[in-house]
Amino acid sequence: MLERITKKLSKRGLRVAVIKQSDKTADLDEKEKDTYRLIQAGAKTAAFYSSNQAVLFLKNRKDIWEIIRIIEQLGNPQIILVEGANDPKINKIRIGEKPNRENTIYTYDGDFKVLMNIILKEM
């Protein structure tokens, strides 16, 4: 669903950023790579960039608002979508049989057009 929403907003010309929040550890870097070794050597932040992409590795845990501020500074998005948001200050759209949580603004009932209208209104 998040992919579909992102695609629709991007086609409208909006700058979209996405955060995937999870309780799992993300091992995105490989042990034999330079960025992994540099972080293991003590770097708190490492960046990899090439002609077509950039990746930022932050060694220390950040709360969701710190991540949002970093994304705002780096990418100047018009909207940031957070999948799995637990923070009660972040508006939520309930999809499926998930429990209704604080700041749930809409429960998706299968009507994608209504969902998109709510997202655009919230912007």
pLDDT digits (tens, 9 = 90+) for 9-63: 999 999 999 988 777 666 566 677 787 788 888 888 888 888 888 888 777 778 8
| Residue ranges covered by each domain of the chain | 2-26+63-122
- What confidence score (pLDDT) does residue 121 get? 93
Element (H, E) at 46: strand 45-49
Distance CA 106, CA 110 (A): 12
User: Average model confidence (pLDDT) for the chain?
Assistant: 86
* Residue 101 scores a pLDDT above 80: yes
- What confidence score (pLDDT) does residue 38 get? 81
- What confidence score (pLDDT) does residue 24 get? 66
pTM, whole model, 2 decimals?
0.79
What percentage of the chain carries pLDDT values higher than 90?
A: 43
Q: How far is CA 106 from CA 9, 37, 100, in A?
A: 18, 44, 9
Residue 111 makes CB contacts below 8 A (sequence gap 6+) with none
- What confidence score (pLDDT) does residue 27 get? 59
Distance CA 6, CA 14 (A): 9
> What is the helix, strand, coil percentage profile of the chain, to 5?
35, 20, 45
* 2-26+63-122 belongs to CATH 3.40.50.300: yes
**Which residue from 97, 100, 99, 101 is spatially nearest to 89, judged by alpha carbons?**
101
